[in-house]
Amino acid sequence: MKRIQNFINGRFVDGTGELFENRFPATGEVHSLVSAAGEQDVDAAVSAAKKALKGPWARLSVQERITLLRRVADGINARFDEFLRAEIMDTGKPASIASHIDIPRGAANFNVFADQIASVATEAFEMATPDGAGALNYAIRMPRGVIGVVCPWNLPLLLMTWKVAPALACGNTVVVKPSEETPATATLLGEVMNDAGIPEGVYNVVHGFGGGSTGEFLSSHPDVDAITFTGETTTGEAIMAAAARGVRPVSLELGGKNPGIVFDDADIDITIEGLGRSCFANTGQVCLGTERLYVQRGIFDQVAEKLAARARTYAFGDPFDQSTTMGPLISEEHRRKVLAYYEKAKAGGAEILAGGGVPSIQGYEGGSWVEPTVWTGLPEDSPVVRDEIFGPCTHITPFDDEEEAIQLANNSPYGLATSIWTTNLSRGHRVAGRIDAGITWVNCWFLRDLRTPFGGSKRSGIGREGGVHSLEFYTELRNVCVKL
């Protein structure tokens, strides 16, 4: 049985924690065992990262770091099929998604931040002084130090390098705690880091669980200088509390209950194409996905019918088969959570327009499969409409006018992403400016310019990732004032 180890100070080592099972979500079969890191292993990883800050890594110029980051991107692409297989075995997601999104973006993130760090500016101010000679102020960017990276299971490689790439570009070192559901690609990246010539201790990986385990050991370690986390809001709160001790900054991209708003002048084909992805892609396991949909009354029936039809077009099956377009959920535990909401919807009297249950897939009976589902008819205070489900499901509610749509969309403790569908672009701009969300798409979804600020409002998080915004988190500005 394959064993997945921790990666500390450039070497693969067994942790002192338990060996836990890693399952292929499409069948439920155990395909590898993972060596969990104990507290002393996390301490060893943080010590290696801290020591590396004073080693060869610190003496590299920005240009030399850029060269290494590009080599890491090349290293991932050179082993594309290995990363693809590892990601699919951990997540069960179809190759049609992982080969077009997860692995390419997992590599691209290193080039994106190599470009960004090459052109980042700071600031300088000349000031007058009483003696008339004046003084010059200039700011310099310094790496924060050791960054704790706690990343999620839905886009494992993509969301981990979305943090590691800018952290390294800015001269930091990292200790990564992947989700216990998806340990493989972060571990494989250790081999690529060594081959690319990244000095030992710059990139470290420790496996295990959250509270009372590896995640907690890492986020409460006194030598971790900052923590970045993507995942559920409750875990984000715990990490933020841990970071408070020692006054460490956090970057939190958390949960959401993202609304979509469809006005009656929307282009139906464009809208259904976009919502067909935002509601169901990656089996609904995308933090930016749409789980609440508000449709203007005049076209409600048409949108409901077409979206339900789109839900029925998804093809289950072997995740390695390019014709498969929907995989299982990440685990049996997560499937129980999602199906509990499917039951709540039924019990609440929802009208089920598509799905609502579990598909039977020959040869994959042991997998964590659910049907893509469309509901209507529930009240806005239903848990199905309030809570983040993180499954391939959405609830549709009609509205009459713009004010009502905005009120419905904003009525949530979350504020991560929204999509607005209308051919009246002054309305698109106007409504976008009134939605309490970090990201709003108009007549599109998941179009990603990686220079833009990415992150959530309210309980969806703190801080922004992307472009210069990542550099703001992974560096500390210091001002120098020189008397002339």
Ligand X SMILES: O=C(O)C(=O)/C=C/C=C/O
Binding-site member from 155, 227, 389, 408 for ligand X (CB under 6 A): 155
CB-count exposure of residue 302 (10 Å: 0-12, 13-18, 19+): middle
Q: Is 448 in the site for ligand X (CB under 6 A)?
A: yes
273 is catalytic: no
- The window from 12-20, 285-293, 437-445, 474-482 that contacts ligand X (CB under 6 A) reads 285-293
Cross-sheet strand order for the sheet of 439-442 = 351-354, 373-376, 393-399, 290-296, 258-262, 417-421, 439-442
Nearest-approach distance from CB 369 to ligand X, in angstroms: 20
CB-count exposure of residue 332 (10 Å: 0-12, 13-18, 19+): middle
- Letter for the amino acid at 431? V
Nearest-approach distance from CB 416 to ligand X, in angstroms: 9
DSSP result, 108-132: HHHHHHHHHHHS----EEEE--TTS
Binding-site size, ligand X (CB under 6 A): 9
Tokens 């090349």 belong to 74
Angle between helix axes 467-474 and 103-118 (nearest 10 degrees) is: 70
- The window from 35-43, 131-139, 284-292, 349-357 that contacts ligand X (CB under 6 A) reads 284-292
Q: Is 108 in the site for ligand X (CB under 6 A)?
A: no
Nearest-approach distance from CB 381 to ligand X, in angstroms: 26
Closer Cβ to ligand X, 138 or 446, answer by number: 446
Q: Is 153 in the site for ligand X (CB under 6 A)?
A: no
CB atoms within 10 A of CB 154: 25
Closer Cβ to ligand X, 155 or 345, answer by number: 155
Nearest-approach distance from CB 148 to ligand X, in angstroms: 18
Q: Is 162 in the site for ligand X (CB under 6 A)?
A: yes
Q: Is 287 in the site for ligand X (CB under 6 A)?
A: yes
Binding-site member from 73, 86, 193, 288 for ligand X (CB under 6 A): 288
- Whether the Cβ atoms of residue 402 and residue 339 lie closer than 8 Å to each other: no
Nearest-approach distance from CB 349 to ligand X, in angstroms: 31
Binding-site member from 52, 97, 275, 286 for ligand X (CB under 6 A): 286
Task: Spell out the residues 6+ positions from residue 263 whose beta carbon is closer than 8 angstroms to its own.
Answer: 296, 402, 405, 420, 421, 422, 424, 427
Closer Cβ to ligand X, 286 or 299, answer by number: 286
- The window from 261-269, 273-281, 286-294, 366-374 that contacts ligand X (CB under 6 A) reads 286-294
Binding-site member from 294, 364, 454, 473 for ligand X (CB under 6 A): 454
- Letter for the amino acid at 419? S
Nearest-approach distance from CB 83 to ligand X, in angstroms: 17
CB atoms within 10 A of CB 413: 12
Q: What share of the chain is helix, strand, coil (3-state, %, to 5)?
A: 40, 25, 35
Q: Is 439 in the site for ligand X (CB under 6 A)?
A: no
Please tell me what DSSP assigns to residue 414. E
Nearest-approach distance from CB 441 to ligand X, in angstroms: 12
**Collapsing DSSP states into helix, strand and coil, what is residue 266?**
coil
Q: Is 165 in the site for ligand X (CB under 6 A)?
A: no
- The window from 54-62, 151-159, 396-404, 427-435 that contacts ligand X (CB under 6 A) reads 151-159
Chain-centre distance of CA 475, in angstroms?
A: 21
Give the C-alpha separation, 339 to 351, whole Å: 16
Binding-site member from 116, 154, 220, 422 for ligand X (CB under 6 A): 154
> Considering 253, 291, 388, 465, which one is annotated as catalytic?
253
Contacting positions for ligand X (CB under 6 A): 154-155, 159, 162, 286-288, 448, 454
- Catalytic residue annotation: 253
